[in-house]
Amino acid sequence: MDLCPNRPSFLTIYKWSELLSEIDSSKMLYLFAHAPSQLAPVAMLRLDMTEPAGWISSLWVHPEHRKRGLASSLISRAVVNCKERSLQTIGLTVHNDNADARKLYERRGFLQYINSHEGYTQLVKVL
């Protein structure tokens, strides 16, 4: 029996996109997603921005919080930040074995650019 029938579910209460926080500097931006009542972030994206391109150099989501759209939200925020700075592209490197991550990026408009160093592929999204 639900003792609090009017209480929204965990995911309804907390809109992840509204829980993102930022630490900014002129050429580097960290985006974090926080779970309620947890001090440490549960997801993080590092974005490097050097004209004319943005670069996602790190993206990680805590295993317990995956498949909830956190990485997608962080990527969307990274794209917005790059557009605000009038950057032309946003890119990243993904390991060829990381099929889930690659699918995530490709469904969000990232295209294969080049095979970079051994076992890795660069993906780029035109802004």
Footprint on this chain of ligand COA (rule: CB under 6 A): 59-61, 66-72, 92, 94, 98, 100-101, 103-104, 107
Rounded least distance, CB 76 to ligand COA, Å = 9
Closer to ligand COA at the Cβ: 9 or 37?
A: 9
Closer to ligand COA at the Cβ: 75 or 87?
A: 75
Buried b (16+ CB within 10 A) or exposed e, 73-82: bbbebbbebb
Rounded least distance, CB 2 to ligand COA, Å = 21
- The whole-angstrom distance between residue 79's C-alpha and the CA centroid of its chain comes to 9
Distance CA 15, CA 7 (A): 15
- 3-state SS class at 104: helix
Rounded least distance, CB 102 to ligand COA, Å = 8
What DSSP state is assigned to residue 68? S
Closer to ligand COA at the Cβ: 88 or 96?
A: 96
Task: Identify the helix (H) or strand (E) that includes residue 49.
Answer: strand 43-50
Rounded least distance, CB 58 to ligand COA, Å = 8
Closer to ligand COA at the Cβ: 3 or 63?
A: 63
Distance CA 41, CA 27 (A): 22
